[in-house]
């Protein structure tokens, strides 16, 4: 059995395709007929465009996981729900739902009241296996009363992390995986928020991955072009793969 991981929303898109690159993050995980969408990008129309080109209809998605409530990760959810006829199971950490009301306008997930019955939202409080060998992490504190969760696929070779931003720090993500599964991840997919001092942070993350033998790296989103460049200065050009919209990898389970 295999898991296929495809980037469907990112700042970059595979050249020579009509796929749209835009600010935000979304990854599709496919295991057989089970399709899990991790985050929904910023703009629903871009998400729908990319999914359509990849031959993914909204009704084909079984589950959505929202990592945290930032617009670039939850912004496309309302549109996705409007394009569906049936309710959708959605996992999200509590603070991703907004601090006042679940459907409020003060931040977090925003879903129109007219389609609220299409959203079957389950709050993430701890590690949870949402599909065979697919786990959502316990929420990690990222400050300002916000939390972020990531996904782990338990592959034949060991854990693989799929993380939207790793705001808490890649080191904390790695240790959380080690604590849960007894091994550090051998693969890391997604964003590594660098912020200021990106050269120092990128080099530190690259050295961390090298020390922990996490060498299957498919990096995108908030890592940034410079962040990836600095990581490659440590790990080599082939040590860090771009993961633009339309890119995909398959792993044995």
- What sections of the chain are H helices per DSSP? 44-53, 71-74, 77-82, 170-181, 198-211, 224-235
Question: How far is the C-alpha of 233 from the C-alpha of 230, rounded, in Å?
Answer: 5
Backbone angles phi, psi at 248, to 5 degrees: -150, 155
- Whole-number pLDDT of residue 195: 78
Which residues have C-beta within 8 Å of that of residue 238, sequence separation ≥ 6? none
Q: What is the pLDDT of residue 14?
A: 98
pLDDT in tens, 39-96: 999 999 999 999 999 999 999 999 999 999 888 999 999 999 999 999 999 999 877 7
User: Which range marks the domain in which residue 94 is found?
Assistant: 2-252
pLDDT in tens, 17-37: 999 999 999 999 999 999 999
DSSP letter (8 states) at residue 5: E
* pLDDT tens sequence across 134-191: 999 999 998 877 899 999 999 999 999 999 999 999 999 999 999 999 999 999 999 9
- Work out the burial of residue 90: count CB atoms within 10 Å of its CB; fewer than 13 is exposed, 13-18 middle, 19 or more buried: buried
Q: What is the pLDDT of residue 27?
A: 99
pTM here?
0.95
Question: In this structure, what CATH number is given to the domain that contains residue 176?
Answer: 3.60.15.10
Nearest to 172 by CA among 203, 139, 126: 139
Q: Which of 51, 93, 87 is closest to 74 using CA atoms?
A: 93
**Strand stretches in the chain, DSSP E:** 2-9, 26-31, 34-38, 63-65, 88-93, 119-124, 128-131, 134-136, 140-143, 146-148, 151-155, 158-163, 187-191, 216-220, 241-242, 248-252
| Tens of pLDDT, residues 80-96 | 999 999 999 999 987 77
d(CA 29, CA 218): 14
Whether 104 has a pLDDT exceeding 50, the answer reads no
* Domain count for the chain: 1
């Amino acid at each position: 059995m295999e898991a296929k991981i495809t980037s469907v929303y990112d700042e970059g898109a595979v050249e020579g395709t009509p796929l749209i690159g835009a600010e935000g993050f979304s990854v599709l995980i496919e295991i057989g007929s089970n399709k899990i969408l991790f985050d929904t990008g910023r703009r629903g129309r871009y998400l729908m465009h990319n999914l359509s080109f990849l031959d993914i209809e909204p009704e084909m998605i079984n589950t959505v996981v929202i990592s945290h409530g930032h617009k670039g990760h939850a912004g496309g959810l309302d549109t996705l729900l409007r394009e569906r006829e049936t309710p959708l199971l959605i996992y999200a950490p509590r603070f991703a739902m907004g601090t006042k009301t679940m459907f409020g306008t003060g931040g977090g997930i925003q879903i129109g009241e007219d389609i609220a019955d299409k959203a079957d939202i389950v709050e993430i409080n701890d590690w949870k296996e949402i599909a065979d060998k697919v786990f959502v992490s316990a929420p990690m504190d990222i400050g300002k009363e916000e939390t972020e969760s990531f996904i782990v696929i338990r592959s034949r070779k060991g854990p693989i992390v799929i993380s939207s931003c790793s705001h808490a720090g890649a080191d904390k993500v790695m240790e959380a995986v080690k604590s849960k599964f007894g091994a550090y991840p051998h693969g890391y997919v997604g964003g590594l928020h660098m912020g200021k001092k990106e050269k120092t942070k990128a080099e530190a993350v690259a050295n961390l991955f090298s020390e922990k033998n996490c060498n299957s790296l498919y990096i995108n989103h908030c890592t940034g072009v410079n962040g990836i460049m600095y990581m490659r200065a440590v790990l080599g050009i082939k040590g860090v793969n771009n993961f633009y919209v339309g890119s995909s990898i398959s792993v044995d389970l």
